[in-house]
Each structure stands twice: as structure tokens, then as C-alpha cells.
């Protein structure tokens, strides 16, 4: 009997020893570096600042911060921003737009064009709207979370939205002002201007966003999206707030119906004014009212710190993308970088040690 008990105890000791050995081995394996998650995003240590916009131009990359911009192709060595705080109202509220040859800032009553090759960067070209429209009382307020604060095409056409008043009473509709520019020997010149006074709606409401394309702008007035062509012609695109991009020969429009929580996709030819609904689907609120960028052939959306891929080849599908070290910071732009990489800019909301400008290979963008 005693012999049997001894055998059982020995067997139990061996089993416990074996289990303990397995646990220790597993703990050692978990702690090995090769099993740690590798973050694919490179955060530039010299650009850990509030970044509102970025664009590749003939003068190199333009990185726009809170009160100035940096210019150059070597992102790792960019420093000493060119300041524009004397020409920009309410620093931190607006996303400054960028064209190939200049960027545009504004105060409460004037617009300033900062050429990238001007001899004196501290002396931008000034544009006073009241000189063109005496009823001008102030610009429409488009904060960075709704988009860029004014329209600016790649070729240097500006679209400004503002409010007018007569007899001290503000008009119901916002007005728009188109400014055609050209750059001669690094000097910015105005070619022509046009005031657009159009009855968008029959009640008082604001212009909430402007999107810029080569031949037209898309503007949201109240809850409707309108197209404004460079000649000033206005047509209605969709009866919803929306954001759009051009893919091939089509305009792809992502429209939001907040009452239903639906995201709808519309398409239209670049030479037409009619939009056709392709698909509609109820989605999470974190994907509604997002911004979009075409990266390669992929439609990439971003909102707050979320990144996702949108596909509507077969229904409407949303695929969340890696944002592991972007969490907590508002993403402000996504661009293709050096053909095989993706560049992201962000605010420094909650993680000031991990914000600013990020780059990753396209293979990691998933």
C-alpha cells in the first residue's frame, strides 16, 4: 500500500515538473523579440509637430504646420518652418490649402498667397475681398475637421466663400469668389475674378466644405453638395453632405445620410453633372463624414484616428487599416509618397510623442 502511494506521488511530481517546464518555455517564447508586433509606420523625429496638410509640388514637399510651412524633398532633414502666423487668423483652427506654386492663408478680411519661390517669403501677395464686393462682411468658417478652409486647384484657381449683408442684414446664402492666378518669374498675378451670387437654398445656412478639382469645385451648402465650375456655373450634385475623389474618368462621391446612418456611393462622368447612386449601406458612425484619398487604385478613407479602405465592386465593403501608433491623434491628410509608400500627417491631440508625419511602405498599408 505504502509502495503504491509512493509511486503515485512520484508520478504526480513528474507531471507537475513537466507542466512547469512547458509554462516556463512558453513564457520565454512570448518574451522573445521575434514575436513582438513590429509597427510599420515611421514617425519622423524632426516633424513631431501639429501638421495640417502636405503636398508634393515642383518645389518639393510642402508640410504645413500650425503657424508655418516647411519645404523640401528630404523629409528627415526638414527644419526651420517659414512662418505665416501674421497672415493667418485663429491658428490651429484651419487647414491651409496648397497648390503647385503657392499656399493660401487668410485673416478675417484678407487672403494671402505665399509663393514657394518668392524672393521674400515674409511678403506674400495680399487680396482684399471688400475691394471686389463692397457687401463683404466676413469669410465662411470651415474648420480643419470639415476640410480645407478655401478651395485651391493644382493650377492656382482659388474659391473663397464669404457672407454679404445689405442694410446690416446678412443674406441667407453664402457668396463665392473665384480668383484665377498665374505665376510669372516666381511672381503671383491675378488673371481674372468672378463673384458667384447663387440661390443655393431658401433659408439661412452656411458653406461647410469646399473640395478642389482641376475643372470644378464641390461645395456643401446646408446639407446639399453643389458643383461650381471654373466659369462660375452652378449645378446640384447630390442632396447630401459628401466628399469626392476622381478615379480614372469618374467622379466618385461618398455621401452621408446621418438620419439613417447610411453611406451612399454615387458616380458621375467628369464631363457630366448627373450623379448616379451605386450602392447604399448603414455603417458605423466612425465611417460617416470621412475624408477620402486615392492611393494607387484604392479608395482610402480617414476620420479622427481611423483609416479604412472602401470598396464597392460587390456591395459596399469597409476594411479597417493599421493605425496602431496613430491612435489618439487626428489624421489630417494621406498622400502617396515616392510611388511605393504612403505618407500620413496628424495632429498631436493625445500622443505628442507620436504625431506629425508618418511614412510606410504600400505593402504595410493593410
Q: Give pLDDT tens digits for 260-280.
A: 999 999 999 998 999 999 999
CB 150 within 8 A of CB 156: no
The pLDDT mean for the chain works out to 89
Q: For position 119, what pLDDT does the model report?
A: 61
Does residue 44 have a pLDDT over 50? yes
Rounded distance between C-alpha atoms, residue 110 and residue 130, angstroms: 9
- Per-residue pLDDT at 39: 60
Give me the phi and psi of 6, to 5 degrees please.
-60, -45
pLDDT for the residue 324:
83
Distance CA 1, CA 23 (A): 33
Stretch 56-70: mean pLDDT? 95
Instruction: Name the pLDDT band for 22 (thresholds 50, 70, 90).
Output: very low
Q: How far apart are CA 293 and CA 316, in angstroms?
A: 17
What average pLDDT score do residues 114-130 get? 85
Cα end-to-end span (Å), the chain:
65
Q: What mean pLDDT comes out for the span 84-107?
A: 97
Q: Quick one: pLDDT at residue 299? A: 98
pTM for the whole structure: 0.88
The residue with greater pLDDT, 204 or 327, is: 204
The secondary structure of residue 26, as a DSSP letter, is H
- pLDDT (tens digit per residue) in 224-251: 999 999 999 999 999 999 999 999 999 9
Task: State the cell numbers at 112.
Answer: 494671402
Q: What is the 8-class DSSP label of residue 11?
A: H
Coil, strand or helix: which one is 303? strand
Q: Which of 5-14, 32-41, 80-89, 119-128 has the highest mean pLDDT?
A: 80-89
> Order of strands, edge to edge, in the sheet holding 51-57?
51-57, 60-65, 68-72, 82-83
Pairing of strands 250-257, 262-269: antiparallel
Q: Which residue has the cell 512570448?
A: 30
Strand partners, 233: none
Q: Encode burial over 64-97: b for 16+ CB neighbours within 10 A, e otherwise.
A: bbbbbbbbeeebeebeebeebeebbeeeeebbbb
What is the pLDDT averaged over residues 116-139?
89
pLDDT, tens digit, 9 for 90 and up, residues 140-177: 999 999 999 999 999 999 999 999 999 999 999 999 99
Amino acid at each position: 500500500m505504502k509502495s503504491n502511494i509512493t509511486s503515485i506521488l512520484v508520478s504526480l511530481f513528474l507531471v507537475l515538473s513537466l507542466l512547469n517546464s512547458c509554462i516556463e518555455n512558453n513564457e520565454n517564447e512570448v518574451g522573445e523579440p521575434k514575436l513582438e508586433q513590429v509597427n510599420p509606420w515611421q514617425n519622423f523625429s524632426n516633424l513631431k509637430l501639429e501638421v495640417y496638410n502636405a503636398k508634393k509640388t515642383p518645389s518639393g514637399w510642402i508640410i504645413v504646420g500650425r503657424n508655418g510651412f516647411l519645404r523640401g524633398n528630404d523629409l528627415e532633414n526638414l527644419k526651420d518652418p517659414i512662418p505665416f502666423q501674421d497672415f493667418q487668423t485663429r491658428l490651429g483652427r484651419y487647414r491651409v490649402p496648397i497648390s503647385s506654386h503657392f499656399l493660401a492663408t487668410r485673416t478675417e478680411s484678407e487672403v494671402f498667397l505665399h509663393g514657394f519661390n518668392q524672393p521674400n517669403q515674409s511678403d506674400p501677395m495680399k487680396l482684399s475681398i471688400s475691394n471686389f464686393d463692397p457687401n463683404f462682411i466676413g469669410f465662411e468658417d470651415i474648420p480643419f475637421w470639415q476640410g480645407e478652409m478655401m478651395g485651391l486647384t493644382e493650377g492656382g484657381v482659388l474659391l473663397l466663400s464669404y457672407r454679404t449683408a445689405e442694410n446690416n442684414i446678412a443674406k441667407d446664402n453664402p457668396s463665392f469668389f473665384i480668383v484665377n492666378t498665374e505665376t510669372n518669374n516666381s511672381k503671383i498675378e491675378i488673371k481674372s475674378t468672378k463673384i458667384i451670387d447663387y440661390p443655393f437654398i431658401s433659408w439661412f445656412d452656411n458653406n461647410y466644405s469646399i473640395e478642389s478639382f482641376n475643372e470644378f469645385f464641390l461645395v456643401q451648402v446646408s446639407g446639399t453638395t453643389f458643383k461650381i465650375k471654373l466659369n462660375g456655373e452652378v449645378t446640384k450634385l447630390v442632396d447630401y453632405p459628401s466628399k469626392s475623389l476622381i478615379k480614372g474618368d469618374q467622379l466618385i462621391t461618398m455621401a452621408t445620410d446621418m438620419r439613417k446612418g447610411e453611406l451612399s456611393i454615387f458616380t458621375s462622368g467628369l464631363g457630366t453633372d448627373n450623379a448616379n447612386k451605386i450602392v447604399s449601406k448603414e455603417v458605423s458612425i466612425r465611417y460617416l463624414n470621412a475624408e477620402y484619398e486615392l492611393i494607387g487604385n484604392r479608395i482610402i478613407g480617414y476620420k479622427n484616428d481611423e483609416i479604412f479602405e472602401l470598396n464597392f465592386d460587390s456591395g459596399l465593403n469597409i476594411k479597417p487599416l493599421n493605425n496602431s501608433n496613430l491612435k489618439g491623434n487626428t489624421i489630417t491628410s494621406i498622400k502617396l509618397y515616392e510611388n511605393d509608400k504612403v505618407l500620413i500627417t496628424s495632429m498631436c491631440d493625445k500622443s505628442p510623442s507620436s504625431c506629425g508625419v508618418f511614412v510606410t511602405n504600400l505593402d504595410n498599408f493593410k
